[in-house]
Structure 1
Amino acid sequence: MRQRYLALLSMFASLPAMALTFQTRLESIEWKVEGDKFECRLSQPITDFGTGEFVRRAGEQVTFRLKAYNHVLGGGSATLLAAAAPWQPGRGDINLGSVQMGNGDVLFNSSQGQAGRLVSGLLEGRSPLVRHYSRDGGLSEIRLLPVKFSKAYSDYQECTAKLLPKNFEQVKQAQIGFPGTGVDLDAQAKAELQVMLDFIKADPSVNHIELDGHSDNAGNRLANRDLSRRRALSVMDFFKANGIPESQIVMRFHGERYPLVPNNSAANRAKNRRVNIHLERVPVAEKSAPAPVPTVSVGNAAKTS
């Protein structure tokens, strides 16, 4: 291991004199793993610069981002590489393409493909390297080192194994379908609702559910209106049975008035038999305001109950 460290030091000493290099001393290298059910982060602090960070959000693959304490690099584009280790002769750097540098605290977010290649490279002893040329021709390099990475990566994998299957942007809207004149939830519908339920229970700030029931145009309008109501009730009952207070749920039903697609085929009619679900975060002050007189929406009209 000492030979590897010496080889790394030799590599850094051989960089062009005009290059401004940011990297942490070998003896000070550390990887940090942080996270919860919503996001996991694997990061290495970079002395006098900021942090290089792998981030995986629920429902997504890992990306890599570079965070800076200051704005010494400016904007423009940079090259992202998985740099070869000097103790592995015959290996060259892997060019992972360009990244667009911003001017905020987060300089860039890589693609998922780039991040995956960086992780694979670290496991092989490579270094994530960002190479940036300024407008005046100056070169800056920001480097993370693979020291102690394997153990930290194992801890990071334990974190990602506990992530929810979806993040809020992915889970906040859903559409539950119903066969024929049915109003009961099938196994697929219950599975989709369970994903939403798990997120709501993990994130108490998601405290408002809107349900909109719909039907196709088969049968008469009164029957279709009732079908849409009973379908919305099925979804409401699922949430209530699993601990969601009814006060957090708003239910509307519209019959056949708002089709997604024309009711001109069996496949299209199946798409129109649905309950749309929308999750929101409603501020506490807004929720504590005096409640209006309850209404039940019927198409475009509203009847006071």
Structure 2
Amino acid sequence: MKKCIVALMAILVLPASASIRHYAAKVEDSQWQLLNQSRLQCTLSHTIPGYGDALFTSQASKELNLEFELAMQRLPKQYGVAAVYSIPPSWMPGAMQKEIADMSIRKQFNGDLPEQAAWTILSELEKGYWPTIYYQDWHNPYDKVAVGLNASNFVRQYYAFSQCVANLLPFSFEDIAYSVLTYEKNSDEFTRQSKKKLNMIGEYLKEDPELELVLLDAYTDSYGGSWHNEQLSVRRAEKVKNYFTGMGVPEGRIEVTGHGERRHIAPNTNELSRAKNRRVVIRMDRL
């Protein structure tokens, strides 16, 4: 009788365990790759066979940042919540699993996690744990899905990723997409602060091949004749253009306009306000 009960319990338990579909790379096949290695963006990628890719991305910015994206081959068909755990592999007997975060499942979108959870996943991988994401399958109501990140072959690429992140530019495209540079009086020499901003823009232009157009609009104050001021504004803009072409930006992607003493943004009644009118406005567009 006892044997019958045990056998019955085994039958009842089996479907529950079999209903979890596991996706993870085998230890011998686990690969981590550093993608988009530049001073604008660093991405660490891990392929999950039959499922998709796990992506950790950090971008150039004033502040350190990181985002985790679970790129799925089959996007969600409904909304839900996934549980993210750090799971010890079989060769860590006695180690306990740890809850990391909940991940929102959004219809027709990849999964993602914010900075804190993303760094936690990386640190757990560094220790040899397998962060795993559990959720109810949206295609089969009888199945749950477990998506594991294999820590094998992780550390070397993670250290390379960390070095890449350390070398990111300390500003983003949004910080320089619209910039106003000011000049010394009756000169095409920038003020000290504008030279610093111009160097920032130059550093960015060297790294970003997707910039479609750089527009340079130069202006002067009202001191001096109108023809002189117009020529001065053109000369100022051309100097910036030459600086950018020297950085490798194709000349045809830079448009220059000298406006002279037109379109003042401040009165010309004193030196402080006139300095605001001596300016070049730089606008940049991406492809």
TM-score (norm 1): 0.66
Task: Look up the match of 2:69.
Answer: 65
Q: Would you say the 8 A contact 1:80–1:98 is kept in 2? A: yes
Q: Match for residue 126 of structure 2?
A: 123
Tell me the equivalent position of 2:48.
46
Aligned to 1:185: 190
Amino acid at match of 1:208: L
Q: CA deviation at 1:192?
A: 2.6
Cα offsets for 1:125-147 (capped at 9, x unmatched): 33322222356474222111222
| Mapped contact 1:125–1:146 kept (Cα < 8 A) | yes
Q: Deviations over 1:61-102 (max 9, x none)?
A: 33211122234x533233352414263757452332333434
3-state SS of paired residue (1:148)? coil
Once the two structures are overlaid, the 10-residue window that deviates more, 126-135 or 62-71, is 126-135
**Within the alignment, does 1:76 sit opposite 2:82 as a pair?**
no
Distance, in Å, in 1 between the alignment partners of 2:35 and 2:53 is: 13
Q: Which of the numbers 267, 277, 281 marks the counterpart of 1:276?
A: 281
How many residues align structurally? 264
Measure, in 2, the Cα distance between the counterparts of 1:51 and 1:229.
50
Alpha-carbon distance between aligned partners in 2 of 1:153 and 1:127, rounded to the nearest angstrom: 15
Higher relative contact order (CA 8 A, sep 6+): 2
TM-score, normalisation: structure 2: 0.69
Once the two structures are TM-superposed, the CA of residue 152 in structure 1 deviates from its matched residue by 1.9
Question: Radius of gyration: which is bigger?
Answer: 2
Give the distance between the partners of 1:112 and 1:281, measured in 2 at CA: 26
| 1:212 positional shift | 1.6
Alpha carbons of structure 1 residues 18 and 207: separation in structure 2 relative to 1, 3 Å: closer
Partner SS, residue 132 of structure 1: strand
Over 3 Å counting, the alpha-carbon distance change for 1:182 and 1:78 in structure 2 is farther
Deviations 1:167-223 (A, max 9, x none): 65554433324467764223432333233333434445536321122467x869959
Q: Say whether residues 1:18 and 2:19 are aligned partners.
A: yes
**Distance in 2 (alpha carbons) for counterparts of 1:272 and 1:89:** 70
1:112 Cα deviation after fit: 2.5
3-state SS of paired residue (1:141): strand
Where do residues 149-188 of structure 1 align in structure 2 (5 Å cutoff)?
149-161=154-166, 163-164=168-169, 168=173, 171-178=176-183, 183-188=188-193
Paired amino acid for 1:63: E
> Where in structure 1 are there 5+ consecutive unaligned residues?
1-12, 283-305
Per the alignment, in what secondary structure is the counterpart of residue 195 of structure 2?
helix
Corresponding position of 1:208: 213
1:10 is matched with: none
Aligned counterpart, 1:302: none
Report if aligned partners of 1:232, 1:252 keep a CA contact under 8 Å in 2. yes
Q: Is the 8 A contact 2:25 2:47 kept in 1?
A: yes
What is the SS of the residue equivalent to 1:157?
helix
Residues 224-243 of structure 1 correspond to what in structure 2 (within 5 A)? 231-239=236-244
Identity %: 23
Does the C-alpha gap of structure 1 residues 279 and 145 become closer, same or farther in structure 2, counting only changes over 3 Å?
same
Deviating more after overlay: 167-176 vs 125-134? 167-176
| Residue type at the aligned position of 2:74 | N
* Amino acid of the structure 2 residue aligned with 1:251: V
Once residues 247 and 173 of structure 2 are traced to their aligned partners in structure 1, the CA distance between those partners, rounded to angstroms, is 19
Matched, 1:101 2:103: no
The alpha-carbon distance between structure 1 residues 65 and 252, as it changes in their structure 2 partners (threshold 3 A), is same
8 A contact 1:81–1:129 mirrored in 2: yes
Matched AA of 2:57: V
Q: Note if 1:195 corresponds to 2:203.
A: no
Q: Which moved more, 1:131-140 or 1:18-27?
A: 131-140
Structure 1 residue 145 and structure 2 residue 160: aligned? no
Structure 2 equivalent of residue 257 of structure 1: 263
Q: What SS does structure 1 have at the residue aligned with 2:263?
A: coil
